[in-house]
Amino acid sequence: MDSVSCNGNGNGKTDKPKALHVAMLPWLAMGHIYPYYETAKILAEKGHFVTFINTPKNIDRLPKPPKSLEPLMKLVRLPLPRVEHLPEGAESTMDVPITKNCFLQKAYEGLEDAVAELLKNSKPDWVLYDFAASWLPAIAKSLNIACAHYNITPAWNICFFYPSKDGRNTNLTHEPTWLPFRTTIRLRPYELMRALADLKDEETGKMPTFDLCKAFSNCDLFFVRSSRELEGEWLDYLAHAYNAPVVPVGLLPPSMQTRDVQEEDDNPDWVQINAWLDSQHPSSVVYIGFGSELKLTQQDLTELAHGIELSGLPFFWALKNLKEGILELPEGFEDRNKERGIVWKTWAPQLKILAHGAIGGCMTHCGAGSVIEKLHFGHVLVTLPYLLDQALYSRVLEEKNVAVEVPRSEQDGSFTSDSVAKTLRFAIVDEEGSTLRQNAKEMGKVFSSEQLHNHYIQDFIAALQNVVVVNEGMEGDYHAGLIVAMSLAKGTSSSSTMGDEVWPLQVWYRKEAEEEVDVTS
């Protein structure tokens, strides 16, 4: 391999970092598409061009980019191929029951040729891909395009389920003793049984099978929507387990997102909600929301409603996915609680509500984006997770003493209204929960720090700009040396140092490299 200088022109002079062209392909779930889209807007704000790839319906679901960014953002709509058993018009996980995700995966894989042609014609510097696109690195390498896996879930999610490339298995219902640090997180037996039942299509018996090891192992850089303040030890282990150049990009908190604040302020729904919140005591209201895709059972909805009522706390319950005639609140629930609570059945301006001083805590399913938004405002969390990644998030937050999970049966996951009420009161008003509330406020300082997360974004962009992919000059023979600017390795930001260790940017080399790359010239 030729010797390559880092971000230089070969004669010892340092060039100004160039503007990049970055292509992005998230998985077909809005919980993945939104973080990718926010990242795309941040890149465009910094002067880089982004080609954002997804399906027509999913792109139409996104808010339009600010006019100032339109010249730097190309939204490419690729129609999904027709797949048997996939409902007509389904383009996202929100369009299908979870049992049909295997067919959504097949349709996503059917985009391979269209994506390859797009990359061949547009020639981006980088392509950022999601966990489900394990087929994309091979395409990128054939075109001499650098590729990065961008994972929008925390590192612990990857490490726990896929601990290393050597195939070591663990009992997921036990604490992971194979880690070099101690953690008490584990899954409950009912969570594993539910996951297997939920993912299997009854008609065909098929389940989604993503080649995650391939997706994680074949990238030039491994980006994670996370921070060392949240999970430094997990990020370290991830880099070790996959021998990968792991770079946290920060949490993309609401303070970094581009929004039309004036339009939100003028929204009639917000005007009504704000007036009600203004009438409540400070830090007294519990905000309850379980995302747009979670489908509660009637039993869970009933117990939850009775528990909220039994707690006696003021509440705002965002229940957009309540299907009238299919699921129903307990008879008379809204009338009995109209003086102290609101059940909101349409879209709710969540960030505006969370920022209001009347909110004293939140009840959540522990979706990654939802947790970030709530902890951004320093709110203590009462958790009721349903999916496996949500369960892990809940257990980690309990370990960090900023959340408390509603007790459930280890066998079937059922819970009672009494357990809901007691957990809510413990977290929001009881003296015993005061430490929990204080810890959440302290963590909120990390989640909301614009300075901290701007440093992470700087490191993220610097990694893209300063990593040089070196072609050996042989057609189709892609041997890449990865060089990260040594100036960054001296801890130029508060986010990149941990004691005397350099982080997150280090010098990494692909295994294919036959000679050491000189990064000192």
In which region does residue 369 sit, left (phi positive, over 0), alpha (psi from -120 to 50) or beta (all else)?
alpha
Catalytic-labelled residue, pool 125, 130, 236, 300? 130
Tell whether omega for the bond before 504 is within 30 degrees of 0, i.e. cis: yes
- How far apart, in whole angstroms, are the C-alpha atoms of residue 383 and residue 393? 9
Q: Which residue has the tokens 């990654």?
A: 368
- How far apart, in whole angstroms, are the C-alpha atoms of residue 85 and residue 325? 26
Please list the alpha-helical segments (H only) found in 243-365: 261-266, 268-278, 298-311, 333-336, 350-354
Catalytic-labelled residue, pool 21, 32, 149, 455? 32
DSSP 147-207: EEEEE-S-HHHHHHHS--TT-----TTS--TTSSS-------HHHHHHHHHHHS-TTT---
Would you call 403 helix, strand, or coil by DSSP?
A: strand
On whether the CB atoms of residues 368 and 393 are closer than 8 A, the answer is yes
Greatest alpha-carbon pair distance for the chain in Å reads 78
Is 130 labeled as catalytic in the residue annotation? yes
On whether the CB atoms of residues 363 and 384 are closer than 8 A, the answer is yes
- In the DSSP assignment, the letter for residue 14 is B
Helix (H) or strand (E) holding 108: helix 101-109
Is 278 labeled as catalytic in the residue annotation? no
In Å, what is the CA distance from 502 to each residue of 20, 125, 241, 493?
25, 26, 18, 11
- Catalytic residue positions, numbered: 32, 130
